Amino acid sequence: MGALFLDPRLSLGSCRSQPHQRREPVEEIKGLLKVYQDGSVERFPVIPLVSCVASSDGVTSKDVVIDDSSDLWARIYSPNVPGKLPLMVYFHGGGFCVGSAAWSCYHEFLANLALRAKCVVVSVNYRLAPENRLPAPYEDGVRTVVWIGQQALGGCNEHRWWLSQCNVSDTFLAGDSAGANIAHNVSLLISDRIITKVRIKGIVLIQPFFGGEARTNSEMTNTAVNPVLTLSASDTYWRLSLPPGANRDHPWCNPQATMAVPRVMVCVSETDILKDRNLQYIEAASKTGRRVEAAVYAGVGHGFQILNKSQLASTRTHEMISNIRDFINQ
């Protein structure tokens, strides 16, 4: 997708501490991360990091710094198509604890989404837990939206390459898994703020990562079907990301029937442990009077659009991108 270069920011989301070979972790997501008694975190580079600074396959992508003090940055994708396009602010998944806007799977998916759905995508590299527990990712999301408004208002030449391509008054918040949770909560946080030029038209939630103390049927039955997100891993992610002492009924995990945007799209995977949570969210959102669109993708599980390379997953990913394109371009 473009030229590779050595960028120190790409260390975000990879191993951030020295290996601890002689100590047992106090928390672990097998193959992804270990947390030790002293609070240090070891992340494993299971997915390669890529960077793109050139136009490739019809999409121009570049990394931009949003806030130096917190290492907040984003990767922006601008498709080479005519006309003013919707803007999508996207948050990657990873249980709030792992992941990066530079992960190759997200780079590929979002470049394709930008081109096929005809939108400019701002992919946010937010702070990770447990070093930065919730609401840190939500704060990074709000900061990103404010930054977009500032760039649009100032007419900054540095960002003209993508700002001239999109209409920031036609902005959508989106994400998958934990990123979808972030999109939902950021929409609530900015609902009463005036951000010059930026108007949030809706949210696109792909397999949103929600939970609760009471178990659902899909949480109990789909773990063996789709090992990408197991119930055990889900519980660990929540322990590491929620404020100390909070349980899974905290509203950041188990949301109330509150909507701050006029339109909502929810993408659900049939064999995902989150299926029932997602369907409950759709039902609650519908009762608020908002316009809610739901799509259930048969035969696939959590994160299929970025992690599954099968023919079925490819077909379902094509369907998902078509659904998102129709939703944001209405």
Q: What is the pLDDT of residues 150-185, one digit of tens each?
A: 999 987 789 999 999 999 999 999 999 999 999 999
Residue 50 lies in a domain: no
Asked about 302 being catalytic, the answer comes back as: yes
Considering the chain, what percentage of its residues have pLDDT values greater than 70? 91
Angle at 36 between CA 9 and CA 123, to 5 degrees: 30
Q: In terms of pLDDT, which residue wins out, 256 or 151? A: 151
pLDDT at 20: 45
Sorting pLDDT into bands at 50, 70 and 90, what band is 53? low
pLDDT at 52: 77
pLDDT tens-place string over residues 81-136 = 888 999 999 999 999 999 999 999 999 999 999 999 999 999 999 999 999 999 99
Sorting pLDDT into bands at 50, 70 and 90, what band is 16? very low
**Over the Cα atoms of the chain, what is R_g?**
19
Asked about 107 being catalytic, the answer comes back as: no
Rounded CA-CA distance 144/66 in Å is 7
- pLDDT surpasses 90 at 7: no
Q: Which amino acid, 163?
A: L
Rounded CA-CA distance 280/267 in Å is 13
**Residue range 52-81: average pLDDT?**
90
**Closest by Cα among 272, 315, 324 to 295:** 324
pLDDT at 1: 40
Q: What is the mean pLDDT of the chain?
A: 90
The helix/strand/coil state of 91 is strand
Element (H, E) at 224: none
pLDDT at 250: 97
State pTM to two decimals: 0.92
Domain count, the chain: 1
Sign, CA dihedral 93-94-97-99, equals negative
Residue 254 CB coordination number (10 Å) = 17
Residue 98 lies in a domain: yes
Rounded CA-CA distance 100/177 in Å is 13
Rounded CA-CA distance 45/99 in Å is 10
Rounded CA-CA distance 86/192 in Å is 22
Residue 26 lies in a domain: no
- pLDDT surpasses 50 at 6: no
Token duo for residue 92: 């990657």
Residue 36 lies in a domain: no
Element (H, E) at 62: strand 59-67
Token duo for residue 268: 């659900």
Residue 32 lies in a domain: no
Q: Which of 92, 107, 184, 302 is catalytic?
A: 302
Residue 28 lies in a domain: no
Q: Which of 63, 140, 272, 276 is catalytic?
A: 272
pLDDT at 178: 98
Q: What CATH number does residue 238 fall under?
A: 3.40.50.1820
**Residue range 70-86: average pLDDT?**
95
Sorting pLDDT into bands at 50, 70 and 90, what band is 289? confident
**Closest by Cα among 313, 307, 311 to 106:** 307
- pLDDT surpasses 70 at 2: no
Instruction: Say which range, 64-73, 194-203, 233-242, has the weakest mean pLDDT.
Output: 194-203
Residue 20 lies in a domain: no
Rounded CA-CA distance 48/13 in Å is 10
Contact criterion met (CB below 8 Å) for 148 and 161: no
Rounded CA-CA distance 65/86 in Å is 21
- pLDDT surpasses 90 at 22: no
Residue entry with tokens 């998902």 = 320
Please, which residues bridge with residue 122 across strands?
76, 89
Q: Which of 100, 177, 187, 241 is catalytic?
A: 177
Sorting pLDDT into bands at 50, 70 and 90, what band is 224? low
Residue 210: CB partners within 8 Å, gap ≥ 6?
181, 253, 254, 255, 274, 277, 278, 281
pLDDT at 54: 61
Asked about 272 being catalytic, the answer comes back as: yes
Sorting pLDDT into bands at 50, 70 and 90, what band is 272? very high
- pLDDT surpasses 50 at 69: yes
Sign, CA dihedral 173-177-181-186, equals negative
Domain range for 232? 56-328
